[in-house]
Amino acid sequence: MAPPRYDEAADEEAESEALILHRLDTDPKSGRPRVHTIPSAQHDDDDNDDAGSDIEGQSDEMLEKRRIKALAKRAVADATASSNADPTTGRPPWLVEGTKTFRRSPPLIRGLVIAIALFLLGGVFYFALGDSEALQGGAKKIWSYGGEVWKGGSVPYTFPGDVGHPGPTATGAPGQLEEEDKLTGTRPSPEIPVETHLPTSQYGSFKPFDHMGPLTPYKPSDGFGVDDAKYHALPASCKIEQVHMLHRHGSRYPTSYSPAIEIQKMLAAKPRPTFSGPLDFLNTYEYRLGKELLVPLGRQQLYDSGVAAVIRYGKLIYEDVQKHGKLFARAGSQHRIVESGRNWLAGALGAADWEREAELEIQIEDVGFNTTMAPNFACPNADKGGKWEPGWQWNKDWIEHYAIDAAKRLGQYAKGVEITPRLINGLQQLCSYDTVAGYDARSICSLFSTSDWQAYEYAWDLSFYGSYGSGSPLGPAQGVGWVNEFLSRLEGQKWDPKLQTSENATLDSYARTFPVDRKFYVDFTHDSVIANVLAALNLPEFAAALDPMPSRLDEGRRYKSSEIVPFAARLVFEKIQCGGGQEPLIRMLLNDAIVPLKQLKGSGCDSEAREDGMCTLKNFLRSQEGRMERVRWEQCFEK
């Protein structure tokens, strides 16, 4: 049965009913409660007259009855006082007619009218009660149905945890080292819970996992010429006033262009190649690596780094939290960079607390977006190789040279595939990647001699020096953007847009997204960016040329990628104030080792010649005064 239709006539009839008044009192005879019902439409002239007469001497009951009748009649009189009002409801005619018209309207029209009314009401409340203060820098949040919109610049009101542009990724198989590791007498150390023990009978005191270039698991650097044991501890009169940290992501799976993927392709060939002798394990080897993502060890490296930072610099970190509400950190948008930042912050501030006590600003890494955490996207000539980044060709030529002997030696154990120098380099990278992923890779790693690993490390050195460092015209140019930001923060001055290279002007122009009044700064980035920054700083020991085809490796060279950019590498600048009214000092550390600043020629740091590696702030700033002319950013756009 259909529901009863709305009866407008019945509704109007109900509205015309007289007002009803009710009174509760007590029956004087029985003592029971009783209710008096008094229709206001019943008019009694006598009662009305009585209401205004002298009521002295009347009983309480009679007085109360007359008072209620008088009130009821007064209500009717008030309701009909105006000749324009409805005599029964007291509503003005326009409201009565409007109500009738609205009820007769189709449901769609009624719904639209209600929606418009609610929208206008919401707008009134928003503009009446909302924040009318413009943010620092002139940006102001305004309403938009599609999301947050800003006047004066596209600045985010909050710091979103996902801005897109994570880069290509793929998950890999989980580790099962407890099952795979059959080596007796050793266990993975608690500091690095992956299997890095290789036969001492084969390598002696040499440790291959300390020489794997940027794939080296994090370890403190062996040093850069300063006696760290003597000078790492500050004098009692000195205190650290400010810290700037540029941090590489942790251990990860291979990138999309890694030679390690060549091994996956080789084993996927139809028919599958067969192997014997030392390569016999490849007959059953399964490629299990993912792509680009942090591995569990990488998460641990960043978490541990955060713990170390809050132990070392906790006073500064919590001064920022207390004064500004939150610690400020930045990261590029690639998945492994964001996750590195989150794990570091969890280590520093606690897994349950960091989102409340820190802001992680994520800057997009992609074509068309500026960010100093990935400056190559702002430099069109980056990643083109050739004269702009000769290191890639140096790397390729060196691999063809150093790996030829290993290719011949192992090639005799392979059928159905030619073992080339590039495959040898791919196997060496596979050793690195399988190990940090938690797989037992000792069968792969032990295929190579000490000299093979030393040459492998040098291949990485050539790539970084010649493509990201001082050996590339674009290396210093790509690093100067972060240096500009660092110097603005160091001096507490707003970023200068006249110096812009790879900086994001939208973000760097606002105090909300580029504060310069903090005690502790941390940015999360790539290995290449640390190499860029070292080149932009013009440190001679990191600028010394590498021979693309040496007859003998220089083991004393300062530029070793294993020492400069291992997984989870960190470049730190400390601003230090000592007692006695001395000039503020700057100390630079790379992977926990002091970098001597006396190598900055012509700045005053060289004449100070401090053995502790530090330099006065004013002389360090002087060393960077000519950086824009020196790096020649315009080369990024030359043909």
| Residues 300, 298: Cα–Cα separation, whole Å | 5
Residue 421, CA distances (Å) to 390, 397, 398, 515 in order = 20, 10, 10, 49
Token duo for residue 187 = 């266990």
Q: What is the pTM of this model?
A: 0.73
Q: Are strands 520-525 and 238-248 parallel, antiparallel or unpaired?
A: parallel
Q: Are strands 585-590 and 570-578 parallel, antiparallel or unpaired?
A: antiparallel
Asked whether the beta carbons of 583 and 618 are under 8 A apart, the reply is yes
263: DSSP letter: H
CB-count burial class (<10 Å; 0-12, 13-18, 19+) for 350? middle
| Residues 432, 298: Cα–Cα separation, whole Å | 13
Token duo for residue 284 = 């059953």
Helix (H, G, I), strand (E, B) or coil at 170: strand
CATH architecture of the domain formed by 177-543+559-634: 3-Layer(aba) Sandwich (3.40)
pLDDT of residue 24: 55
Helix (H, G, I), strand (E, B) or coil at 195: coil
Q: At what angle do helices 474-491 and 527-536 cross, to 10 degrees?
A: 80
- Mean pLDDT of successive 10-residue segments in the chain (639 residues)? 43 44 57 56 44 44 58 51 54 68 72 80 63 44 37 54 66 48 47 87 95 97 95 92 98 95 96 98 97 97 96 95 97 97 97 95 95 98 95 98 98 98 98 97 97 99 98 98 99 97 97 97 99 98 97 95 98 94 95 97 94 98 97 96
| Residues 452, 73: Cα–Cα separation, whole Å | 110
Residues in contact with 568: Cβ distance below 8 Å, sequence separation at least 6, in sequence order: 218, 247, 248, 249, 250, 251, 298, 301, 302, 305, 340
SS3 track for 205-221: CCCHHHCCHHHCCCCCC
Q: Are strands 149-151 and 20-26 parallel, antiparallel or unpaired?
A: unpaired
**Helices and strands: H and E segment counts in the chain:** 25, 14
Name the residue type at position 424.
I
User: Which residues in the chain are classed under CATH 3.40.50.1240?
Assistant: 177-543+559-634
SS3 track for 52-111: CCCCCCCCHHHHHHHHHHHHHHHHHHHHCCCCCCCCCCCCCHHHHHHHHHHHHCCHHHHH
Radius of gyration for the chain, computed over Cα atoms and rounded to the nearest angstrom: 39
Host H or E run for residue 594: strand 593-595
377: DSSP letter: G
| Residues 359, 158: Cα–Cα separation, whole Å | 9
| Residues 166, 333: Cα–Cα separation, whole Å | 6
